[in-house]
Structure 1
């Protein structure tokens, strides 16, 4: 008889989310909050969620080995300092899509240098592809635990892809795990010409070697805005290879080794 799941879980995950703004981001958050609990029945972790960002404090965080930001980032000084301390003391983090967004001026200005410039290394958001489309992704680092079971290239779930202010290739602390393969071009369907990428280098998953962290640019489902139905046209966790990347990233984060 197997008692695999009778044991206490190897690690505990807490996912922070806001889920108030963009319908595509809300759709992703709801989907993540269905998918991760399902994965927790197979893999050795527990999954809790909170939309109260004041839970970013030392007492609350001490119960968890991995923190997820599903859509946004903390805004108050106390929340930000607690997160920074958690990460500097060996905590683990996974962020999706909009969690890295910053643009001055906007509702999410770049007013947190440690997070955007030092921790993520990407600086401000520069632009994105539109509409959300699948991309062919290339594995840049095939030795990492998050990627060592992936094929060299694979087709992702549809996503809105971001371009960043800083070139992550020039940052010695950043290990780019996946980037957009040139076979993806042209990427995006427009209608605006600048929403379609024809060339360039675009990292989509990376880690900062000074921290136990992984950022994934995925996290934007396709929504039927054009016909005003707001119907969900794509799902992020509908892609087997990409799911392997996400679960292996999480297991690496939960293993406690940098």
Structure 2
């Protein structure tokens, strides 16, 4: 009998520790992990006559490591092809008013967590408002950044969850008509993609976004329920945007929730859209 009690108490202790650990992890995802901010301004030589692209890949939350590295390779190839100057870094020191003004577009390559200090955040906000361009990929749109202006203006939709019961799922990605045809040049009307489909509380269309790609989330399992979380079983319905752009004062913000893993970077439509978006930014 005594041995049984010991076993039962041990099992209970393990359950409590597991639940506590998961609760702590969930809290950290939402409220941030310990962060250090890089404040030293880097030395950058901007070549004359070349559009400048900043590829930022810092993470302090979940790190999509394989996708981040694949993204670096893809953007490097695009830069070589299009004669762009690509500055790739995970150092937040570049987020200062003087240097940001020299970039045509800032790309958040699966960036998660709190990334910049208050002064650096303000520099990015001013940059976009004054006519700069921002492009966010997948993790750049989750709820880990602890920056209300960023979520409301750059992403343009409130992140809820991603599917758990079926983590990665195939869906038909459908092209939407746009007033800016250059962004969809060369893109197929529909194509299959397996990804981790982010679910947002609100449709970015309601905030003035122009949707480039969408899926029908009635044809996937959008449930993010796990253990005691039972309120994440909803999707976005037939109109589930997965790539869009919107104006932010004088600037533009592009975002796509595609890109959870490296396989996305092997998809020609995905690469073409990102290339089109950067081209649109450097010609603005």
Counterparts of residues 12-27 of structure 1 (less than 5 Å): 12-19=52-59, 22=62, 25-27=64-66
Q: Is the 8 A contact 1:67 1:92 kept in 2?
A: yes
Residue 276 of structure 2 corresponds to which residue in structure 1?
248
Q: Is the 8 A contact 2:243 2:257 kept in 1?
A: yes
Counterparts of residues 1-258 of structure 1 (less than 5 Å): 10-19=50-59, 22=62, 25-72=64-111, 74-102=115-143, 108=144, 111-123=146-158, 125-129=159-163, 130-144=166-180, 145-156=182-193, 158-171=194-207, 173-181=208-216, 185-187=219-221, 199-210=237-248, 211-221=251-261, 235-256=263-284
Shift of 1:197: 5.8
Shift of 1:77: 1.0
Q: TM-score, normalised by structure 2?
A: 0.70
Shift of 1:177: 1.3
Structure 1 unpaired stretches of 5+:
1-6, 103-107, 222-233
For the aligned residue pairs, the C-alpha RMSD in angstroms reads: 2.8
Shift of 1:163: 0.9
Q: TM-score, normalised by structure 1?
A: 0.77
| 3-state DSSP of counterpart to 1:205 | strand
Bigger share in helix? 2
C-alpha distance in 2, partners of 1:85/1:237?
31
Shift of 1:118: 3.1
- Whichever of the two has the greater Rg, that structure is 2
| 3-state DSSP of counterpart to 2:81 | coil
Structure 2 unpaired stretches of 5+:
1-46
C-alpha distance in 2, partners of 1:255/1:217?
24
Could you list the runs of 4 or more consecutive aligned residues of structure 1 that deviate by over 3 angstroms after TM superposition?
Answer: 7-10, 19-23, 187-200
Would the alpha carbon gap of residues 49 and 35 (structure 1) be closer, same or farther in structure 2, given more than 3 Å must change?
same
